[in-house]
Chains A and B, each alone.
Chain A
């Protein structure tokens, strides 16, 4: 299955992204619970892009079992302000906005792989994988 890339530029794109991820996950054979986890992670991470960087992009990459292990990789990239203290941002309850601070640490618990690269002034890339 081909990769799918979605622009994240408005709140409505968050809905499009999570709907698309759920559909791809269903097609790949993920069970309902994993579809829900992936849609929820997408909502959290896509919102971060729109809220902090104003715009960015999500790419959904189905992982071919022939090249390792079947799963779905989601990459969220932006050229926004970056995260000054990634370790702090990953702690439960840490928030710079008026959120509950559950977004990043909570998302991490919903996936098998969670990687975050961020540079202040350059942008942020969050990569997550859920294995099938």
Chain B
């Protein structure tokens, strides 16, 4: 199943939400990076929120790709937040010597949205924004190959 695992990318307002809920092989990780960047370009989203709360391990490969995603997104004028890292994963990452350079990490999705909104000035002037009006609003699932 190399490269076949599909990680959903949801666009909510001006933020791409990427919930990683399965253990990913390297091809899937690389493929996900490509898809996030092309969705940033396609949608003009300004933030990327990657939820790794279900990831039981982040090794140097996944760590490097998370840093790369943040660096490339920044060049495209978007900010990346990684949310929900398990404590055991965080401790192991530090011991490995990984810093996740350029990646902001917060505890949960709420905090992630708040950070993107306040620190990075990703406003909610779009009518389908999840920040202002009705909760949840519209989530467009991006499912192109």
Number of A-B residue pairs, CB cutoff 8 Å, is 75
- Report the interface size class on chain A: 20 to 34
Contact of B2 with A40 in the complex, beta carbons under 8 Å: no
Q: With a CB–CB cut-off of 8 A, which chain A residues contact B91?
A: 33, 36
Q: Which residue of chain A lies nearest to B64 when distances are taken between CB atoms in the complex?
A: A100
Q: With a CB–CB cut-off of 8 A, which chain A residues contact B56?
A: 22, 36, 39
Complex interface bits, A30-42 against B, C-beta within 8 A gives 1, otherwise 0:
0011011101100
Q: Decide yes or no: A110 and B92 within 8 Å by CB, A40-B57, A99-B64 being known contacts.
A: yes
Q: Does B88 contact A (CB under 8 A)?
A: yes
Q: Determine which residue in B24, B25, B26, B59 has the highest number of CB atoms from chain A within 10 A of its CB, and name it.
A: B59
Q: Which residue of chain A lies nearest to B62 when distances are taken between CB atoms in the complex?
A: A43
Complex interface bits, B67-92 against A, C-beta within 8 A gives 1, otherwise 0:
00000000000000000001111011
Q: Report the Cα distance A42→B87, complex, angstroms.
A: 19
Tally B residues with Cβ within 8 Å of A. 25
Contact of A12 with B60 in the complex, beta carbons under 8 Å: no
Q: Does A44 contact B (CB under 8 A)?
A: yes
Q: With a CB–CB cut-off of 8 A, which chain A residues contact B63?
A: 100
Complex interface bits, B33-69 against A, C-beta within 8 A gives 1, otherwise 0:
0000000000000000000000011111101100000
Interface residues of A (CB under 8 A from B): 10-12, 14-15, 18-19, 22, 32-33, 35-37, 39-40, 43-44, 47, 92, 99-100, 102-103, 105-107, 109-110
Contact of A43 with B57 in the complex, beta carbons under 8 Å: yes
**Could you list 26 A-B pairs, sorted by A, with CB under 8 Å?**
A11-B25, A11-B27, A14-B25, A15-B24, A15-B25, A18-B23, A32-B88, A33-B88, A33-B92, A35-B88, A36-B91, A39-B56, A40-B57, A43-B57, A43-B61, A44-B59, A47-B59, A92-B97, A99-B60, A99-B64, A100-B60, A100-B63, A103-B60, A105-B97, A106-B98, A110-B96
Q: Does B1 contact A (CB under 8 A)?
A: yes
Q: With a CB–CB cut-off of 8 A, which chain B residues contact A32?
A: 88
Q: Determine which residue in A100, A105, A110 has the highest number of CB atoms from chain B within 10 A of its CB, and name it.
A: A100
Q: With a CB–CB cut-off of 8 A, which chain A residues contact B24?
A: 15
Q: Report the Cα distance A53→B91, complex, angstroms.
A: 30
Contact of A12 with B59 in the complex, beta carbons under 8 Å: no
Q: Report the Cα distance A18→B89, complex, angstroms.
A: 14
Q: Does B125 contact A (CB under 8 A)?
A: no
Contact of B92 with A43 in the complex, beta carbons under 8 Å: no
Q: Report the Cα distance A32→B61, complex, angstroms.
A: 21
Contact of B1 with A39 in the complex, beta carbons under 8 Å: no
Q: Which residue of chain B lies nearest to A50 when distances are taken between CB atoms in the complex?
A: B26
Q: Report the Cα distance A132→B98, complex, angstroms.
A: 25
